[in-house]
Structure 1
Amino acid sequence: MMTGKAEEGHTTRRRGVGWAIRAAALMIILLFGAANYLVLDYAIERADSFVAETERTLVRNEFSHQIDQVVQYQSQLSFWDKTFDELANGMPDDTFVRDQMRDWMWSDFGFSWMIFTSPDGEKVLGVHRGEKVPERKAREKLHWVSDLTRKAERAYREALSPDRGGWQVAGGKADPDLLTPALPEIHVSGMRLIDRVMSIVVVQAVIPKTLYIPASRLEPTLLITVKPVSQKMLANTERRLGVRDLGFTPIVTQEPGLLMTPVGGDTYNPMVTSWRPNMPGSFVWRWALPQIALFVLVFAGVMLFVTLRFSALVRALQRSETKNAFLARHDPLTGLKNRSGFDEEVSRAIRKGENRPFTILTLDLDRFKAVNDRHGHAAGDAVLQAVARRFSERIGRYGCVARLGGDEFSVLLTGEHSRDHMVELAASLVLDTQIPIAYDGQLLLIGGSAGIAQFPHHGKTVHDVMVMADAALYAAKNGGRNRAIHAGDMGSEEIAEAGEIRAA
């Protein structure tokens, strides 16, 4: 037997171990929290910087690629013998505008503006959305790209060298790794806000495929094309790059969480590309995992096992409890309330106030047994499910539909309802039972009868109201079936019969 001192010492040691475990657990939690804080704080800062710079590069490269595509599209008109010849005697005629600028460049490539102009601006021809516009409107647009036209003229002149009494334009540097043809380095591009839409603007002197410029044609005609950056283009770019809310923002915008970068290399553009950056992911954990692994491994195995088992048990219990609770109140075949669930709904209606009225409709299917006997129970189940679905759609959210058993249904409607409205509703439910039900390549025909009773007119208790509704249903069946009877319309004999049923 343990002495008092020994027992006291054992108790003291047990308490000491308990405190040591608590202290060790607290120390682990503190160390784990401190390590996570320090590691993640540093890692997230690094990851944010890494992601931001990566996404800026991706966005710049993507828009650079789109600008290169627009340059290629525009070159099909500006680097073309037919265009060069068309400009020999001035600006293009209406046929060229229609065939090449409207039906080709506008319809196929979506250039909203195409403007031919001489460097001094003396000769101007503008086409907006495929339609030729007055010079005044075209000159208004030239005002916003005047720096680009000057650069394009300078690039054109710098590319010229004397040749055979005329001039030769320096060709582009061929790159075998590129699928697009090399173009002369005489185009200038930029991003501008044109007609309130961010657009890619490309300016280039019109030259022939031979790159030879006769002395008489030294003065160039510049072609300015404007390709709007549509919402569809932005959405496609978002999907390719995996960014969110890609758009354009004034360069002076200061909004937390918004990344911005200039695109197009256009110093005159007041807008920058903006988007919501992705949150750092694997990079953070790859850096942080070695720092916190020592603390996690101490209790991760046990805690993981206990957590998984306990969570699985809780989930299983919750699923079982939810399923059992549903089955306790619902009919498994039709999904409607069963007798227990219906009684709860009625009791809830009574608890809301003794004087608050409600209506009960009882319904029976006619000729249902014949369907079971002739076609089997599977056909009977199909009939019950079809009728339940029709009843539910008819009643909707205005009441509760229940299957009390077999081919017996009941409906609870709360609130004040007129006799005529209830009779009309019950008659509609009866008609729902008479609609043929398709099953296994044939039509199943049944019918229905309904009884209606209202609280408190036909009884002061739920039992009394249910008995009167059943008596009205019985009267409907005796009256020839396929009809609805209101308890207030029953004769004295039928009421007496209801009284006998209530007494029983």
Structure 2
Amino acid sequence: MNRTARAKDDGGAPKRLLPLRISSLILIFAAALIAVFTCAMLYVGKLSSEEADRQAYDSEISLFRHVLDSRFIMLARDQFQVGVWDETVKHVSLDFDQDYVADQIVSSLWYNHGLDRTMLVGPKGDLLAYARESEVDFSPQAAALDPDLRALIAKSVAQYMKNRITIKGGFSARAATAGDRGVMLSDIGNIFEGAFQTIEGKPALVSAMAVVPDVNDVALPDGPPVVMVNAKFIDADELAYLRQQLGFRSLDFVPAGKSADTTGAHEDIKTLSGTVVGTFVWQNASPGAHIWSVILPIVVAIGALVAVAALFMAQRLAKMSNQLETSERRTRHMSRHDALTGLANRVRFGEALEEAVAGLPQQPFAVIACDLDRFKAVNDTYGHAAGDIVIRAVSERLVQEIGDSGLVSRTGGDEFIILIHAFTDKRRLDLLCAGIIERILKPIPLDGGEAADVGVSLGVAQAPLCGITGSAILRAADEALYAAKELGRGRAVFAAALEVPEDPAGADPEAAPIKAAE
């Protein structure tokens, strides 16, 4: 080999091949990285879509079960109006009166609440009455009680026997006092049981409740009580109601024995013994398809560059998000709190009241409307700056007195509203109101060595005793406050003594009125 050939062999082709190989490796690595990233994104998209569909399905099932549970509670509330009543105990449990059953029980449950079937079952399990809508049959052979229905009745009886108490002359469901029906309604689970059943060959929601006194003027004898059983058929009207409550795109019911399309969301309903009554089916949401429509174009268009861009954007977005979150918290706080006192304002109080109303009847509460006495004299004598000092001092005293028992809000001027959720009995509310009045009466130091002397008048409304809607409860508290001022100020008046009527426009159409004034 000559020198020229050696020079070409040593410094020619081999020197050009090395950079080409590195470039190829870089390209291969980049392509592999893009491929891995693309596959990872596709896999993540698959997992995300499947998880989104699963969570949507689980949420719909959970919502569906919650709505059905609420429906049983509504049935119990309907039964409560006539089943938990001294008059019913007198005319059914102690001295069976057919006219009373037809006029006061069956007619009320059919015409007022649309319950399709009503049964009264005696302590020995004998059928006392059977009503189809408003028509009552008092013969023992009016209907046959199948084992599932008897099991439901037995559970209701067991609940009563477990939770009954001894009163003068016999037994009752609980130690109720006059006007305490709202508290009894929150304890309705002590005498009530609900289940799906087949009544006359039709699927239905069935509820069973022991007939018990409300104010305990009468007592039940020892032994099992009379049980009231009601059925609401799962018909077109019931399906329409459930669709409205659920907000599903579709909802149908397929009775047992018929073929049901279970490719979408579905839920079997069963009797206490496990027998399938039928199947609810609906078209469930599928957010996974939308996720694919978003992810796939991003994977194709951006590829491997998404990782770098996402890291950069994540840092930027995290900083911006923190700034926005801080600003939002500040803005949200200002929009829901009074600028002078820092207390909750009318907006925040309205939200808290809506939450409290949503918890009725299981979680009763009270509203106290407050209005300062002699506050105008402070402004006229010492000026508005002194008035601001008084308002701030009153706010601090109210917060100190209420503590963790509720929410204090200022709704404007010298007006305050307090939401009490820790207790609702009149004795403790009386003590609380006395403490508020006493604390507010203490002189308030002003600038220049002066002191302001103000008082407070209070109007108290208990829920659900005075109403089951926010507007009705507020109106009751305001009218009680007005009565307190009319009686000479510096005192508390309870709305229950005013027999405040419920607001028809704001009332829940599904909820029967509670006889608080009886």
Give the TM-score, by structure 2 length.
0.45
Q: Which has the higher contact order (CA 8 A, sep 6+)?
A: 2
Give the TM-score, by structure 1 length.
0.46
Greater radius of gyration (CA): 1
